[in-house]
């Protein structure tokens, strides 16, 4: 980032703490505060939606969102894997600042200021539903990847970050019957990818990942479509917020179509003519899409559809292992890659009261969600010493002209990139014109050494600022010592 690196525009909690909650709940003030819903798919590729041209997978509700609201043609996840992207959504900061370098790595540090904590100060009730993947829920028993007595340092539920309630898992679950897996696989060669849905009399085993709430492990209403299981908890939360006349933030992070992919009977039947893996994959995507339609219908019935802002995106590009059928839309790379196919994902937002339909080609990243929503909620803002990587794109939502001030920095697994409106630097020695060459086929680094050098210098400055945040410049080292991490060393160009 350049010498004129912007400092974060973030809510000053010291200022907001002086605002009386009762002042935020009067009729006029409540009417002006938008409700906010953050929807996220897991491993959904840019080319896996109907509105982005998929010829097989049916996503009518996402297609309707794109047709009614803003369709972002260059929407980026902050990372090519899930946990870091999720951290960016909640903080507006690149995950390298917070130590969420990769999946199952680090935690969302308690010292970070999240969008939920900020909106709490405006009277919002906040709930998380679905995949959390930013810490664990128990130190008493083995759960998922890291939960249990052996790694107590990772205990970090959403209630530590401004959420009043949650119905969440630490990590992945099957997309149908999320708590179960078969005793015997019909297609052993596909066991890592998924399986045919379990019949009612078919023997099964526990999958090993559980749903948790503030009251402990959840054991009821966990059969069938996992996206429906999640929405069965999110919609009552929304209904209660409306009943209480409180604005709300509902973070709904689906597991679909992350492996293991399992399509229920009606969804498998929809794709019966497709090969096994596409049948399971497509079925799980359409099952998720149905629940998005259900959500939007509920909002209309509750009379709050017009002033509810709904964001949808994926946490990264499609899985690349086991010949997974997800599509990038032709973009180079897949999940775990910093080429476009690993981080350019479906992105759309609807907010009928404000947003008119448009296609937007300006780069937008998941780190932009927090500053945008904060500004839309009219939260009191002030300068503090925390660097913010996201930028508010509220002008875009209002139909105004907007361009990023800085390119977007990416870093993951010893790879890095710096992505601007036109040019993109990759690993310090490659340069692409993303406008003319979106599929990154023609490296033009030798033709534009000045641009390559500038992007390398700016990226190095940005990366070092992330290091300073990680090492405690902004809020100390308590969590750094707790989780015991080192900052990744990159082979940056001098």
Average pLDDT, 10 consecutive residues per value, the chain (494 residues): 35 34 39 93 98 98 98 98 98 96 96 95 97 98 96 97 98 98 88 92 95 98 98 98 97 98 98 96 98 98 98 97 88 97 98 98 97 90 74 97 95 96 97 98 98 97 97 94 93 72
In a domain, 489, yes or no: no
Q: What is the pLDDT of residue 30?
A: 59
Range of the domain at 350: 9-406
Contact in structure between 317 and 333 (CB atoms under 8 Å): yes
pLDDT score of 322: 65
Q: Is residue 213 part of a domain?
A: yes
Number of structural domains the chain divides into? 1
Query: Does the residue 40 lie in any domain?
Result: yes
Q: How far apart are CA 446 and CA 430, in angstroms?
A: 9
- pLDDT computed for residue 26 by the predictor: 36
pLDDT for position 2:
36
Query: What whole-number distance in Å separates Cα of residue 347 and Cα of residue 331?
Result: 15
CATH code of residue 95:
3.40.720.10
- Per-residue pLDDT, 28: 34
Is 322 a member of any domain?
yes
Beta-strand runs (E) in 203-334: 204-206, 212-213, 216-217, 248-253, 308-314
- ω into 223 cis (within 30 of 0): no
Residue 193 inside a domain? The answer is yes
pLDDT of residue 21: 34
Helices (H) and strands (E) in the chain — how many of each? 13, 19
Q: What is the pTM of this model?
A: 0.94
Are 366 and 349 spatial neighbours (Cβ–Cβ below 8 Å)?
A: no
Backbone angles phi, psi at 69, to 5 degrees: -110, -145
Per DSSP, what are the bridge partners of residue 365? 76
Cα–Cα distance for residue pair 317/314, rounded to 1 Å = 7
The reported pLDDT for the residue numbered 396 is: 98
pLDDT of residue 22: 34
Helix (H) or strand (E) holding 85: helix 82-91
From first CA to last CA, the distance across the chain in angstroms is 15
Predicted pLDDT of residue 491: 82
In a domain, 381, yes or no: yes
Residue 411 lies in a domain: no
């Amino acid at each position: 980032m350049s010498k004129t690196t912007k400092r974060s525009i973030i809510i000053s909690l010291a200022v907001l703490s002086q605002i009386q909650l009762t002042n935020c709940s009067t009729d006029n003030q409540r009417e002006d505060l938008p409700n906010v819903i953050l929807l996220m798919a897991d491993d959904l590729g840019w080319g896996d939606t109907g509105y982005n041209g998929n010829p097989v997978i049916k996503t009518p509700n996402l297609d309707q969102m794109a047709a009614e609201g803003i369709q972002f043609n260059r929407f980026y996840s902050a990372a090519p894997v899930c946990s870091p992207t999720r951290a960016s959504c909640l903080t507006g900061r690149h995950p390298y600042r917070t130590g969420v370098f990769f999946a199952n790595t680090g935690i969302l540090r308690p010292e970070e200021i999240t969008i939920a904590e900020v909106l709490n100060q405006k009277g919002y009730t906040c709930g998380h539903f679905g995949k959390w993947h930013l810490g664990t829920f128990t130190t008493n028993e083995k759960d998922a990847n890291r939960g249990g007595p052996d790694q107590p340092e990772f205990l970090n539920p959403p209630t530590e970050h401004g959420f009043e309630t949650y119905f969440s898992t630490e990590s992945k679950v099957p997309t149908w019957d999320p708590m179960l897996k078969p005793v015997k696989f019909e297609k052993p060669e596909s066991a890592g990818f998924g399986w045919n849905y379990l019949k009612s009399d078919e023997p099964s085993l526990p999958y090993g990942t559980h749903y948790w709430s503030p009251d402990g492990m959840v054991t009821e209403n966990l059969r069938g479509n996992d996206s429906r299981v999640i929405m069965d908890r999110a919609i009552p939360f929304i209904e209660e917020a409306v009943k209480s006349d409180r604005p709300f933030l509902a973070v709904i992070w689906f597991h679909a179509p992350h492996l293991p992919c399992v399509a229920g009977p009606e969804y498998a039947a929809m794709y019966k003519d497709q090969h096994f893996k596409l049948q399971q994959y497509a079925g799980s995507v359409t099952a998720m899409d149905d629940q998005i339609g259900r959500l939007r219908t509920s909002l209309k019935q509750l009379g709050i559809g017009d002033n509810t802002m709904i964001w949808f995106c994926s946490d990264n590009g499609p899985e690349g292992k086991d010949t997974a059928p997800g599509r990038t839309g032709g973009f180079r790379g897949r999940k775990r890659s910093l080429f476009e196919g690993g981080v350019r994902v479906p992105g759309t937002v609807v907010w009928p009261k404000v947003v008119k339909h448009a296609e937007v080609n300006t780069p937008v990243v998941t780190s932009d969600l927090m500053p945008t929503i904060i500004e839309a909620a009219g939260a009191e803002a002030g300068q503090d010493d925390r660097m913010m990587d996201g930028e508010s794109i509220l002008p875009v939502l209002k139909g105004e002209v907007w361009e990023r001030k800085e390119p977007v920095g990416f870093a993951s697994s010893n790879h890095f990139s710096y992505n601007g409106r036109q040019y993109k630097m990759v690993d310090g020695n490659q340069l692409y014109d993303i406008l003319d060459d979106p599929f990154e086929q023609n490296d033009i680094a030798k033709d534009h050494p000045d641009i390559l050098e500038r992007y390398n210098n700016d990226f190095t400055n940005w990366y070092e600022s992330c290091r300073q945040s990680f090492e405690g410049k902004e809020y100390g080292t308590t969590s750094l010592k707790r989780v015991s991490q080192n900052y990744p060393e990159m082979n940056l160009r001098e």
